[in-house]
Amino acid sequence: MKIYTKTGDAGTTALFGGTRVAKHNLRIDSYGTVDELNSWIGLVRDQPVDDHTKKILVIIQDHLFTVGAILATDPEKAILKNGKERLNIPKISEEDITMLEREMDDMETQLPPMTHFILPGGHQSVSFCHITRTVCRRAERLAAALHETSPVDQSVLKYLNRLSDYLFVLARKLSQDLQAEEIKWIPKKY
């Protein structure tokens, strides 16, 4: 498989199914942001995190490739003429979403209750996790905007929403594990 095809030199790219769209198309922006998110998760995985978390992050990265493939498929061409789905990959399942919830619940049992918003930072690894969370929120916003004009699988929207929550809790857990100070946001009265 050759990396460069030269087919995008004029500013268009092909979706799964062959439909050509502008590289600035909302669908391209959506799955491109999911790709960016996946790279940030790789960076978080390279931080001093425990082996269990590394395994979960690899699973999440795999799920994000699925999300990207779903978003990169023209919904009008998702079903082949023989009635089969164009993508021969697993879908995002309720169990995938439940796994994130279960992981959050487990981490939260080890954390002090949250009483205020928390300022991102305290340690480079924690900051990487917060940046990853904000990229996830952007991916979610773009997928939701795309859904307004072209259907997006509800499980994709739900997964991205839950993943950003997971990344927030992971940032808090990393703060604790790395003995980084969590600074509460307390609005100043001027």
Domain boundaries, the chain: 14-79+87-181
Q: Which CATH architecture has domain 14-79+87-181?
A: Up-down Bundle (1.20)
Would you say the pTM of this structure is higher than 0.75? Answer: yes
CA atoms within 13 A on the CB side of 184: 8
CB-based burial, 140-160: b 16+ in 10 Å, e otherwise:
bebbeebbeeeebbebbbbbb
Q: How many CB atoms lie within 10 A of CB 92?
A: 20
**CA-to-CA distance for 113 and 179, rounded, in angstroms?**
16
Note down pLDDT in tens along the chain; length 190 residues: 678 878 777 788 877 777 887 788 899 999 999 999 999 999 999 999 999 999 999 999 999 999 999 999 887 766 677 777 777 778 999 999 999 999 999 999 999 998 889 999 999 999 999 999 999 999 999 999 999 999 999 999 999 999 999 999 999 999 999 999 999 898 888 7
Q: Which structure tokens are listed for 62? A: 């795999």
